Amino acid sequence: MSEPAKLVPPPLKNDCFALPADTHWTPVDEAHALLKERLSVCVGAEPVPLAKALGRVLAQDLSAARAHPPQPNSAVDGYGLAHAAVTEGPQSFPLVSGRSAAGAPFEGHVPAGQAIRILTGATVPAGVDTVILQEDVATDGKSIAFHGPLKRGANTRKAGEDVQQGDVILSKGRKLTPADLALAAATGVSEVQVFKPLRVGVISTGDELAEAGAVARVDQIYDANRPMLLGLIAQFGYEPLDLGRAPDDRATLKAFLDEAAARADVILTSGGASAGDEDHMSALLQETGSMTLWRLAIKPGRPLALGVWKGAPVFGLPGNPVAALVCSLIFAQPAMRVLAGRDWKLPQSFKVPAAFSKSKKAGRREFLRARIGERGVEVFGSEGSGRISGLSWAEGLVALPDEALEISEGDLVKYYPYSAFSV
């Protein structure tokens, strides 16, 4: 009998972030390019009254039903007159009786060489093309005296100078802001065709999880990811659907996914994304054949399981809360934007001086919990992926590029305030 082959241990690295050479580590930019290419809107459209349209996404271009302003009107309180009758130097014009006020226009014609009292927003009467500011005249109530020359058309707004009837005022895919509601209302729009809200289902997985409020065994932890992800979805303006906690049991998890696909347009799960013995989420998605299990060149958040379950895109986020949040912001957020009917757009970052120093390794993009302090952007003391306290401490993320980098205090680094993800 021959001796059993002796096990040869690998060199000890003890770096769970080291990137083994035999795996393809997908760079963040490559992952983004794939998401951008493959995703498209997955919700239908419906009409809603303008008053209910804030934050909704236009399902078609919006056109002005009327011009803005609809008629020429006065930009100031003053006196309207015909420019052709104005000369240089001091002069005086008799006032016609009556006035033009906003909502109560003067119906008659103002003869050349005469003037009419006119108020801000009032329709410019026939015969008038120019308005002189009341501060620039002397009056006894019967006539006005002022200095010429005046500029033709002064202090008036032309019909349609802002928007012409039929102009496209807002494009398909636009998320309606308060200013957009003003523009639509001003141009006579009372109802808009918008995409139905994106329903995002959230499932936590893991036998170790206990529900908030329940008595937890010492070996259990409270489910922190679910309230975080549901809150994030609400902040993004989508409809959060709490689909509960699934145990580490493949058949039950399957039933959870079935229910999720029936009720939600997109599914976010956390936990079980990597390839361990209990990582059922990635295993189930793999079975559908739609699976792209990404090993992402990112810290934190390496395992991100992506797939489609009964028609619904699934983001299998890593279980560690910091990684779950970072992956949601960096991948699920731009993806959900497109699924909800908007364009592909990454959040706006800012270059800010670092109030820290760090030696960064090559080969992965790193996201650090960060906030702006007096000396620049500060980072949380620990990079541990389970340190939830750092997520609350932070007001945003610093993104360090894929390459190796020596960062010294004062160097400019990329900073994303959390608010940049919720626009």
Ligand X SMILES: Nc1nc2c(c(=O)[nH]1)N[C@H]1C(S)=C(S)[C@@H](COP(=O)(O)OP(=O)(O)OC[C@H]3O[C@@H](n4cnc5c(N)ncnc54)[C@H](O)[C@@H]3O)O[C@H]1N2
With respect to ligand MOO, which residue has the nearer C-beta, 117 or 299? 299
* CA separation, residue 417 to residues 99, 104, 142, 154 (Å): 53, 49, 61, 45
Out of 319, 334, 376, 390, name the contact with ligand X by CB under 6 A: 319
The residues of the shown chain that bind ligand MOO, judged by CB under 6 A, are 299-302, 318, 320, 323, 385
Q: By C-alpha distance, which of 410, 281, 422 is closest to 358?
A: 410
CB 190 within 8 Å of CB 49: yes
Half-sphere exposure of 343 (CA within 13 A, CB side): 7
Judged by beta carbon distances under 5 to 8 A according to partner kind, the member of ligand MOO, ligand X, none in contact with residue 227 is none
Bridge partner residues of 412 (DSSP)? 353
Cβ(82)–Cβ(110) below 8 Å: yes
80: left (phi over 0), alpha (psi -120 to 50) or beta: beta
Minimum CB separation from ligand MOO for residue 318, in Å?
A: 4
Return the residue of 156, 320, 328, 333 that touches ligand X, per CB under 6 A: 320
Nearer to ligand X, 193 or 220 (CB): 220
Give the CA dihedral 333, 337, 339, 343, nearest 10 degrees: -140
Q: Tell whether residue 221 is a contact of ligand X (CB under 6 A).
A: yes
Residues 103-142 that bind ligand X (CB under 6 A): none
- Please say which residue, 268 or 355, places its beta carbon nearer to ligand MOO: 268
Supply the minimum distance, in Å, between the C-beta of residue 70 and ligand X: 56
Close Cβ partners of 348 (under 8 Å, ≥ 6 residues apart): 416, 420, 423
Nearer to ligand X among residue 64 and residue 368 (C-beta):
368
CB 421, CB 333: distance < 8 Å: yes
Cβ proximity of 129 and 156 under 8 Å? yes
Helix axis angle, 280-288 relative to 250-263, nearest 10°? 60
Among the listed residues 204, 413, 208, 224, the one whose alpha carbon sits nearest the alpha carbon of residue 322: 224
CB atoms within 10 A of CB 137: 17
Least distance CB 16 / ligand MOO (angstroms): 7
Q: Residue 303 or residue 347: which is nearer to ligand X going by CB? A: 303
Quick one: which segment of 33-41, 182-190, 204-212, 346-354 binds ligand X (CB under 6 A)?
Answer: 204-212
- Binding ligand X (rule: CB under 6 A), the pick from 41, 192, 209, 253 is 209
- Residue 285 CB, nearest distance to ligand MOO (Å)? 17
**Burial letters 199-227, b for 16+ CB under 10 A, else e:** bbbbbbbbebbeeeeeeeeeeeeebbbbe
CB 327 within 8 A of CB 343: no
Q: How far is the CB of 224 from ligand MOO (least distance, A)?
A: 13
Interface with ligand X includes 206 (CB under 6 A)? yes
With respect to ligand MOO, which residue has the nearer C-beta, 127 or 300? 300
CB 15 → ligand MOO: shortest distance, Å? 11
Binding flags for ligand X, 266-305, as an x/- string (CB under 6 A): ----xxxxx-x--x----------------------xx--
Specify the length of the chain in residues: 423
Q: Which range, of 58-66, 157-165, 220-228, 347-355, touches ligand X by CB under 6 A?
A: 220-228
Looking at beta carbons only, is 163 or 324 nearer to ligand MOO?
A: 324
Interface with ligand X: number of residues (CB under 6 A):
26
Q: Compute the distance between CA of residue 307 and CA of residue 210 in angstroms, rounded to an integer.
A: 27
Contacts (CB under 6 A) with ligand X, residues 372-401: 385-386
The conformation of residue 356, written as its DSSP 8-state character, comes to: S
∠ at Cα 231 (229, 234), nearest 5°? Answer: 110
Residue closer to ligand X (CB basis): 169 or 273: 273
Contacts of residue 386, Cβ cutoff 8 Å, sequence gap at least 6 = 320, 321, 322
Please identify, using beta-carbon distances, which residue of 72 and 227 lies nearer to ligand X.
Answer: 227
| Nearest position to ligand X, beta carbon | 319
> Is the CB of 80 or the CB of 300 nearer to ligand MOO?
300
Contact between 224 and ligand X by CB under 6 A: the answer reads yes
Q: Find the binder of ligand X among 100, 225, 269, 333 (CB under 6 A).
A: 225
Which residues, listed in sequence order, are joined to residue 205 by a DSSP beta bridge? 246
What is the contact surface with ligand X in residues (CB under 6 A)? 16, 204, 206, 208-209, 221, 223-226, 270-274, 276, 279, 302-303, 318-321, 323, 385-386
